[in-house]
């Protein structure tokens, strides 16, 4: 194991995620609200690390080949919410979201 991976494992094992990241719900969207973009990004990295550790179990690796692990490998993005003035995590790429938003506004608001 490289020194970097060992360092990352040591840091993430020593962190209690609920003490580091304060999470609340957004009333408008129902998603988890993070206070800052750094908190949300840190949570994404912690989540990816946790999923990798979870999938190391041989039973879970067997299920991953059947398609169960495909959703966990999708990249996640952080965006600002104007309703709760916090940050949320999404799997949708910001460019795709902008295209859908423009199409919706062109169809219903013009």
Question: What residue ranges do the domains of the chain occupy?
Answer: 3-108
Q: Which residues contact 42 (CB under 8 A, 6 or more apart)?
A: 20, 21
- Name the pLDDT band for 43 (thresholds 50, 70, 90): confident
Q: Which residues contact 34 (CB under 8 A, 6 or more apart)?
A: 21, 22, 23, 40, 43, 78, 86, 87, 88, 89
Per-residue pLDDT of 56-93, as tens digits, reads: 766 655 555 555 554 555 778 999 998 999 999 998 88
User: How many angstroms separate the first and last alpha carbons of the chain?
Assistant: 58
Structural tokens at position 60: 């879970």
pTM (global) more than 0.75: no
């Amino acid at each position: 194991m490289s020194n970097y991976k060992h360092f990352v494992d040591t840091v993430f094992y020593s962190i209690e995620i609920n003490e580091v990241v304060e999470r609340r719900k957004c009333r408008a969207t129902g998603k988890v609200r993070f206070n800052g973009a750094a908190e949300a990004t840190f949570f994404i990295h912690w989540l990816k690390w946790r999923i990798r550790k979870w999938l190391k179990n041989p039973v879970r690796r067997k299920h991953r080949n059947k398609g169960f692990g495909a959703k966990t490998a999708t990249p996640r993005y952080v965006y600002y919410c104007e309703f709760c003035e916090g940050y949320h995590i999404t799997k949708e790429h910001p460019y795709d979201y902008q295209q859908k938003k423009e199409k919706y506004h062109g169809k219903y608001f013009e």
